[in-house]
Structure 1
Amino acid sequence: MADKPAEEQTPSKLFTVINTFTLKDPAGAQEFERRFLEHVEWMRAQEGFHAHQAVRVTERPDVYVNLGWWLEPEAFQQVLRSEVFQSHAKEFHQLVDVAADPSMNVLRIEAGDLTDAVIVIEHLTTEAGAEEFERTYKEYAEAAHAATGLARLDLARALTRTGAYTAITWWRSEEDRLKARESAEFAAVGKVAEVRSERTAHVARNGAAGK
């Protein structure tokens, strides 16, 4: 699928909608992807849409995750109330179960080409304060970027689940990812948070229409 990367104008503080789609019938994957990409084309033209990344979980191929970045939550709420969105949502619910996790992006690191990148989603839960956790995770991310093949990272804080974060990371190779996980900085993250990682396959990445 052709990619149309977004213009990166707001590194953090983007309202982030993380949707997990679970196929009701694994045989419906192709139909779901077709309808989803049609929906994305409509979303790209809506005011406030910034970018999205959709992936399919490698070890759970009936599960898709889409991260949608918006310039402000009000823009997304307006789209959510539209008749077109409601119609699309009704179609999706025939094919998938949907779990939404509204979040706020708090960190972005990027370093160029994402072609053929290894994409991993991290689910993190911490009892430490947001300031301590985000500082610790940023130190890890910056060290991984400097020392290994971390091509891009987005970290989002859940708005409805205390202490919950989602990170999506793009690596130039699995070897680079594993090297980063052996670092002292990642060990420090593990001391303040539980981390569950999932390998994924790229489905689609697009920016707002015209960008």
Structure 2
Amino acid sequence: MGNKNISMAVIRRLPKYYRYLGDLLDRDIQRISSKELSDIIGFTASQIRQDLNNFGGFGQQGYGYNVDALHKEIGKILGLDTKYNAVLIGAGNLGQAIANYSGFRKAGFEIKALFDANPRMIGLKIRDFEILDSEDIEEFIKENDVDIAIMCIPKKGSQELADRLVNAGIKGIWNFVPVDLDVPESVIVENVNLTESLFTLSYLMKAED
């Protein structure tokens, strides 16, 4: 499960498999072939089999895949059988939208607190959270067994904040700041750059002209 030789391209396809299999379960579909899965997802049947064979396969000749079993196995591969505590830093519009999304808790990601550096934000309530002062974040992380930090702050000060998070023991950063953070190899950073994604959309639309 922790095979570091598996390409990032394969890893980034796993959440899509997980989502589509979940949709199939919602429709009470219990068995599916790689060809049928290909028609739904858009990957080739060969690609699907190759991707899943990286983790042991799971299919049976002449039967296909048991949807529920495959969904659970991919969930385990993605680490969704583990509970993670998270903090969110930056309670602006984006941070509030993330805090209000209920799907994270269902997937095992528990946001424990919201933090902000703006004195006007501190003490306000978002959903069930009172926004805390980001000056106190290290102590909170250590006292509450926090694994993940979600960064939704401006670029200025983002590296300094990342350094503080690392020193406090954070293992992963979900980074919405449009900057590449310098962290030790032991800390995983997943960058979500909304502007770059929009620019990619713009390019693809222009290429169709």
Same fold (TM over 0.5): no
Larger radius of gyration: 2
* Higher RCO structure, 1 or 2 (CA under 8 Å, sep 6+): 1
Normalising to structure 1: TM-score of the pair? 0.30
Normalising to structure 2: TM-score of the pair? 0.30
Whose strand fraction is larger, Structure 1's or Structure 2's?
1
